Amino acid sequence: MSTDDPGSVENGSSPSGVPTITPYEGGPVPAGHVVVRDQDGNTMLLDVAAAKAASDRLPPTELTPDQIRRIAAFKHVLVEHETTSLDEALTNFRRDRTPEREIQVWEQIARTYGDELADRPVADATERRLLYKTIFACSFYGTKEEVLEAVPDASSLPDLGRVIERWSR
């Protein structure tokens, strides 16, 4: 993590010095925070408002035409669940310091979701929503136990092991 910019999200503090990223040891997640994994695989708490404020100050990253095409493609697959407009999504990716890595994660979510839907031709809206939530959780957590802790209803999802295995490929 960079420590060159005291206001950067990467070093864990906001411009006011309040930490935006702190180690997470489990338990209830405070309001306004989400659980994330850093680039080293550590589970962390992210202060969403402070992180957004810090990212709003960063110069936007240019997206290539291929990246824009790929974002539109995964949004098409996930349209039922990922409801931000394409313009909003592009703005969000431009705020990311490493948009390529984020695009790859979303492509993997879409690929896993599409593969699972192909094996679930009669999945109703409730099952599709649970499937999406489970796959999304897989993008943050490494084990079945962690996914089930994040999405307890996933235990009722048929072939949960296959979902997690597909995500891991």
CA distance 155 to 14: 37
Q: Which of 20, 40, 58 is the last residue of a domain?
A: 58
* pTM across the whole model: 0.71
Residue 28 pLDDT greater than 90, yes or no: no
Phi-psi label, residue 85: left if phi above 0, alpha if psi -120 to 50, beta otherwise? beta
* Together in a domain, 32 and 69: no
* Together in a domain, 16 and 67: no
* Together in a domain, 97 and 160: yes
| pLDDT score of 8 | 39
* Together in a domain, 67 and 15: no
Considering the chain, what is the average pLDDT of its residues? Answer: 84
Query: Where in the sequence is the domain holding 45, given as residue range(s)?
Result: 1-58
Higher-confidence residue of 11 and 42: namely 42
Residue 123 pLDDT greater than 70, yes or no: yes
CA distance 140 to 3: 24
Element (H, E) at 149: helix 144-150
* Together in a domain, 67 and 147: yes
Cβ–Cβ contacts within 10 Å for residue 149, how many? 14
* Together in a domain, 21 and 4: yes
* Together in a domain, 72 and 129: yes
What amino acid is encoded at 132 in this protein?
A: Y
Rounded average pLDDT over 138-160: 91
Q: Which residues of 11-26 are buried (b: 16+ CB within 10 A; e: fewer)?
A: bbbbeeeeebbeebee
* Together in a domain, 120 and 69: yes
* Together in a domain, 89 and 65: yes
Q: Of the given ranges (27-31, 77-81, 117-121, 144-148), which has the lowest mean pLDDT?
A: 27-31
| pLDDT score of 56 | 66
* Together in a domain, 94 and 135: yes
**Number of domains the chain is built from:** 2
* Together in a domain, 82 and 162: yes
* Together in a domain, 121 and 74: yes
